[in-house]
Amino acid sequence: IPEKQELKQLDERCKHPIIGADSFQQFDELPISSKTLSGLKRANFIKMTDIQRKALPLGLCGKDILGAAKTGSGKTLAFLVPLIEMLYRQKWGPMDGLGALVISPTRELAVQIFEVLRKIGREHSFSAGLIIGGKDLKIERGLIAKMNILVCTPGRLLQHMDQSAGFDCDNLQMLVLDEADRILDMGFKKTLNAIIENLPKQRQTMLFSATQTKSIKDLARLSLKDPEYVAVHEKA
Ligand code: ADP
Ligand code: MG
């Protein structure tokens, strides 16, 4: 179907609650674009995992999410699909600047997220960059000025916010904090607070963490608005 018609249908279906979402098992039952669906299929993502089944219908209609699920449960797609779809539905383009930010505790995890983003976003035309240090600061500066999506580690991101004139996040629509408990364990609490302080208040935020500690609750209070709590517990 033509893109314009698809966008209209997606807008229509992406209202809270998404009708029938409780029984959805597969990605192709969700209100997502044919571009994203095709990226998912090519990567062999057909059936949703539990955390995806719970989080995606909420994330797709713009809800803030506090998500808890152990490693390996499929949290990456639970935030990347709503991120891509939100930008697509808003017809995000090169002139719109930075639309979404993903913060990850380590370089290694950031690279993994970036690779999944490239795979499932291959039919979309957004620009995406990795900001994880270890590269020349000047080269990164040139990159960030052009990107719609950034996947970052906290220290390096704050460094750019403080020191790079080209860093502009005024248009930001979505923030993802992945493995937030690990980010805090690594001593990035102040850094994270300073980053959040710099971001527009009007945005969608998804916070994922394997554990629910007091410091995660504090971070959630600081960064989320009227969040939906989504948890998947290990089966005995
Ligand atoms: P987490 O972030 O919760 O630790 P990941 O998002 O890294 O989990 O996913 C763990 C593994 O499961 C990855 O290898 C990923 O490719 C795979 N995976 C995730 N979602 C699906 C799915 N819906 N179908 C098949 N494999 C999946
Ligand atoms: Mg993960």
Q: 62-82 pLDDT, tens per residue?
A: 999 999 998 999 999 999 999
**What is the count of structural domains for the chain?**
1
Tokens representing 27 are 């990605």
Distance 64 CA to ligand 1 centre (A): 21
The pLDDT of residue 222: 95
Distance 229 CA to ligand 1 centre (A): 20
- Indicate the pTM of the whole model: 0.97
pLDDT tens track for 151-189: 999 999 999 999 998 899 999 999 999 999 999 999 999
The pLDDT of residue 235: 59
DSSP-assigned letters across all residues of 175-205:
EEETTHHHHHHTT-HHHHHHHHHHS-SSSEE
- Residues spanned by the domain of 185: 63-231
The pLDDT of residue 8: 96
SS3 category, 155: helix
- Top-confidence residue, 138 or 48: 48
Q: Is 48 in the pocket of ligand 1 (CB under 6 A)?
A: yes
CATH number of the domain that residue 221 is part of = 3.40.50.300
Residues 6+ apart with CB under 8 A from 40: 27, 46, 77, 81, 120
Report yes or no on 33 lying in a domain.
Answer: no
Strands in 75-227 per DSSP E: 100-103, 128-131, 149-152, 174-177, 204-209
Confidence of residue 1 (pLDDT cuts 50, 70, 90): confident
Among 98, 78, 96, 79, CA closest to 149: 98
Tokens representing 94 are 């090169």
Average model confidence (pLDDT) for the chain?
95
ipTM summary value: 0.99
Among 163, 129, 160, 132, CA closest to 146: 129
If you take atom 9 of ligand 1, which residue's CA is the nearest one?
74
pLDDT tens track for 185-236: 999 999 999 999 999 999 999 999 998 899 999 999 999 999 999 999 865 4
Report yes or no on 137 lying in a domain.
Answer: yes
If you take atom 19 of ligand 1, which residue's CA is the nearest one?
74
Whether residue 85 is predicted with pLDDT greater than 80 in this model: the reply is yes
Report yes or no on 215 lying in a domain.
Answer: yes
**How crowded is residue 29: how many other Cβ atoms within 10 Å of its Cβ?**
15
d(CA 160, CA 137): 8
Report yes or no on 35 lying in a domain.
Answer: no
